[in-house]
C-alpha cells in the first residue's frame, strides 16, 4: 500500500514538472526578445529609411504621408514647407547689392555735388521749357531719352547735346523691362543706341530702365555690354502733377551729397509737368547757396562719353 502511494506521488511530481516546463516553453514562444525588431516594423522602417534618400517632391509618397497625418491635426493652409520654400527672384535692392559695380543709385557721398536727371523726353512741350530753365541757371543735366521720341523730335534732341547736357538710354518705347523676353529687351537698348548715335553722333553707355525696373538676366547682359544702369536716390514724384512747391520740397528734403535726382522732361498722355519746370529755379538756387555743384551723371560716376 505504501509502495503504491509512493509511486503515485512520484508520478504526480513528474507530471507537475513537465507541466511547468511546458508552460515556460509556450511563454518563450509568445514573448519574443524585446531587443529584436518585429518583422513588419522592420520592413516599414526599411521603406522609410530608403525613402529618406529620395530628395525633393515625390507626389505619390507625399500623398501617402499626408494620409498618415493625425486627422485631428489641422493641415498647413499654405502647404508643406518642402513645397512652398522655393527660390524667389531677387528684389531690386538685392540686385543693386549683388551688381553694385553695374547698378548705381548715387555718386560719391563725400563730394558736395548732385546730378539732375530728366526722363521720358524729348517732347515738344516740356523738354524745351526744362532746357530754357537749365540754360538760364547755367546748369548741365542728364536727359534719359526714349528712342521713338528721339525719332519724333530730332531737333530738340540735337539741342540737348548742343547745350552741353548728357544723355542716357531710357529704352525705345518705355516698356516694363522685366515683362519682356530677353531678345525684346536687347532690341529696346540697341535700337535706341542706334537712333541716339544717328541723331547726335554720340554713344551712351548709361541705361535707365523705365520705372526703374529690371531683372537679373537683363543686368547680366548690360554688364557684358559694358553698360551702367543708373537709377536715382531722390524722387521728385513730379509725374503726379505736383505743384512747384511740392516738387521742391520732395527734392530738397531728400537730397544728399552725391544724389542723383529724378525729374521728367516729358510724360504720358495728359501728364502735367509744369510743376517740375517752375520748381527748377528754386531747387537750383537753394542748392547753389549751400555750396552744391551740379554735374552730369557721366561726370559724377566717371563714365566716358564717346562719339
Catalytic residues: 119, 264
Torsions phi, psi for 231 (to 5 deg): -95, -130
**Euclidean distance between the first and final Cα of the chain, in Å?**
139
CB 146 within 8 A of CB 192: yes
Q: Which three cell numbers stand for residue 48?
A: 522609410
Measure the CA dihedral 41/42/46/52, to 10°.
Answer: 50
DSSP lists the bridge partners of residue 115 as 260
In angstroms, the CA 195 to CA 211 distance is: 21
Percentages helix, strand, coil for the chain (3-state, rounded to 5) are 50, 10, 35
Which residues, 6+ apart, have CB-to-CB distance to 73 below 8 Å?
Answer: none
Helix H or strand E segment including 284: helix 274-289
Q: Facing residues of 145 across strands?
A: 121, 169
Residue 278 phi, psi dihedral angles, 5° rounding:
-70, -25
Q: Are 122 and 143 in contact (CB under 8 A)?
A: yes
The count of C-alpha atoms lying within 13 angstroms of the C-alpha of 305, restricted to the half-sphere facing its C-beta, is 19
8 Å CB contact between 222 and 254: no
What is the DSSP code string of 127-196? HHHHHHHHHHHT---EEEE-HHHHHH-HHHHHHHHHTT-EEEE--SS---GGGS-HHHHHHHHHHHHHHH
Amino acid at each position: 500500500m505504501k509502495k503504491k502511494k509512493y509511486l503515485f506521488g512520484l508520478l504526480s511530481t513528474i507530471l507537475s514538472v513537465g507541466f511547468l516546463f511546458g508552460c515556460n516553453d509556450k511563454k518563450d514562444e509568445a514573448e519574443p526578445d524585446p531587443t529584436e525588431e518585429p518583422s513588419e516594423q522592420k520592413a516599414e522602417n526599411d521603406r522609410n529609411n530608403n525613402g529618406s534618400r529620395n530628395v525633393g517632391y515625390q507626389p505619390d509618397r507625399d500623398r501617402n504621408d499626408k494620409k498618415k497625418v493625425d486627422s485631428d491635426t489641422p493641415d498647413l493652409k499654405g502647404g508643406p514647407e518642402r513645397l512652398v520654400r522655393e527660390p524667389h527672384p531677387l528684389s531690386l535692392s538685392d540686385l543693386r547689392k549683388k551688381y553694385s559695380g553695374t547698378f548705381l543709385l548715387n555718386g560719391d557721398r563725400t563730394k558736395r555735388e548732385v546730378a539732375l536727371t530728366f526722363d521720358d523726353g524729348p517732347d515738344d512741350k516740356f523738354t524745351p521749357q526744362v532746357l530754357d530753365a537749365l540754360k538760364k541757371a547755367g546748369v548741365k543735366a542728364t536727359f534719359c531719352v526714349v528712342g521713338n521720341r528721339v525719332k519724333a523730335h530730332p531737333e530738340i534732341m540735337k539741342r540737348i547735346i548742343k547745350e552741353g547736357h548728357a544723355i542716357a538710354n531710357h529704352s525705345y518705347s518705355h516698356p516694363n523691362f522685366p515683362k519682356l523676353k530677353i531678345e525684346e529687351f536687347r532690341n529696346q537698348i540697341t535700337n535706341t543706341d542706334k537712333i541716339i548715335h544717328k541723331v547726335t553722333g554720340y554713344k551712351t553707355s548709361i541705361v535707365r530702365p523705365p520705372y526703374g525696373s529690371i531683372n537679373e538676366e537683363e543686368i547680366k547682359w548690360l554688364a557684358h555690354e559694358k553698360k551702367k544702369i543708373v537709377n536715382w536716390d531722390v524722387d521728385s514724384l513730379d509725374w503726379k502733377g505736383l505743384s512747384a512747391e511740392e516738387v521742391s520740397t520732395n527734392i530738397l528734403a531728400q537730397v544728399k551729397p552725391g544724389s542723383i535726382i529724378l525729374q521728367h522732361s516729358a510724360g504720358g498722355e495728359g501728364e502735367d509737368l509744369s510743376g517740375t519746370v517752375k520748381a527748377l529755379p528754386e531747387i537750383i538756387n537753394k542748392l547753389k547757396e549751400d555750396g552744391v555743384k551740379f554735374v552730369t551723371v557721366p561726370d559724377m560716376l566717371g563714365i566716358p562719353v564717346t562719339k
